[in-house]
Structure formats: C-alpha cells, structure tokens
Amino acid sequence: MTPANRRATTPSVIAAIHHPLRRRLLDLLGVEGPATASQLAERTGELVGNISHHLKVLAAAEVIVEAPELAKNRRERWWRSAPRSYSWSVADAEGEPAGELIATVSEERNVTYHADKVRQWFDIRSEYGEEWVRAAFASDSWLRLTPERLVELSERIGDLIQEYYRDPSTEPSAESVYFFAHGVPARP
C-alpha cells in the first residue's frame, strides 16, 4: 500500500538528501530562501568549494534548482529548493539490498535529526519569551488503527501542514518552526 501523498523517491535522491551538510543546506534554502554558494558557506562555516560540491549533488538529485533571475552577472549562481517534498519507505526498495540499506540508514538519520531539533529547542528556549515557551508542544498518543487508517491520519496531518505552509504568518513575531510527526506501530 502506498499513501497518496508519497512521491516516488530513488535511493540516490534519499542519499543526497540525508547527508548531514546537504540536509543543512536544504534547511537553509527552505527556510531562508535562495542563496549562493558563498552565502551558504558563510552561514555554515564551510569552504565555498565544499558547498559548491554539495549543491551540485543536490541539483543532480533535482532537490534544488538554479534561480538565474537572481544573478547579478553570468558568474553568480543562485539556488533554491525545488517545490516538492519527499517521502519513502524501506518497502519501496524491497528486494534491492543497496536501496534498502540507504532507506534504513536515512530513516535512522531522520529520527536523530528530529530528536536533535527538539534538543536544540531545550538548549535555546531561554532565549525566547514565555509565549514561545508556552506555545511549543509535544504530543503522543496510543491509537488503535489499521494500515488504511494510519495512511488517512498521515494524509490529514499532511494536508493541515500544507495549509500552514501555503499561508505563512507574516507578523513580526513569526519565527521558523520545525514540525515533525511519526506514526508507527509500537509496543508499550
């Protein structure tokens, strides 16, 4: 069963996305908007050549695209996130050992990445006002679902997230907010 919101993703795209520096570059382009390799090098503390290499890998995987309309001259190259999201399952690579390994390692990196963002919040929340500390949340529930209903839950959450994505807050108090959710069969 493949959820309706899942887009086919190849192992090479998954591998491109889940390299730690490339993931950070994707985050920067997604949150802060288009940038050049020099700007991204400044923001990450990496060398421009290293950033350029990783941008080429992301471009080859078609997860970023050039933004030539932003260039001031022929030498300047601007990049932006491609307007799509990616989802995969180890089941997508069933029977293909290399693809299964890439998907499994990427899932593990994703969970670590998600947990690291929450830990980052714990470390910096004192820099935010009380309203942000009260607004931040965590939620977990035990549900009894069939695979079909879990897909439905995933799609409904995805639709709600897209609603907020398409209509971002523009008030001066708005901040970038990292949201993630997992719905997996588990045992108490």
Q: How does DSSP assign 119-162, residue by residue?
A: HHHHHHGGGS-HHHHHH-----------HHHHHHHHHHHHHHHH
pLDDT value, residue 188: 81
Is 87 domain-assigned? yes
Is 47 domain-assigned? yes
Rounded distance between C-alpha atoms, residue 33 and residue 144, angstroms? 40
Is 44 domain-assigned? yes
Q: pTM of the predicted model, to two decimals? A: 0.82
Of 110, 129, 88, the residue nearest 178 (C-alpha): 110
pLDDT value, residue 161: 92
Is 169 domain-assigned? no
pLDDT value, residue 156: 95
Structural domain including 102 reads 11-136
For residue 43, what is the domain's CATH number? 1.10.10.10
Taking CB atoms within 8 Å and a gap of at least 24, the contacts of 178-187 are 178/117, 180/114, 180/117, 181/157, 182/111, 182/114, 183/143, 183/150, 183/153, 183/154
pLDDT value, residue 86: 75
Is 181 domain-assigned? no
C-alpha distances in Å from residue 79, one per residue of 13, 112, 170: 17, 27, 23
Q: How many residues make up the chain in this entry? A: 188
Is 167 domain-assigned? no
Is 154 domain-assigned? no
Rounded distance between C-alpha atoms, residue 10 and residue 16, angstroms? 10
The answer to whether 21 and 46 have CB atoms below 8 angstroms apart is yes
> pLDDT below 70 — which residues of the chain?
1-8
Amino acid at 121: W
pLDDT digits over 30-49, tens only?
999 999 999 999 999 999 99
SS3 176: coil
pLDDT value, residue 149: 97
Provide the domain count of the chain: 1
Is 155 domain-assigned? no
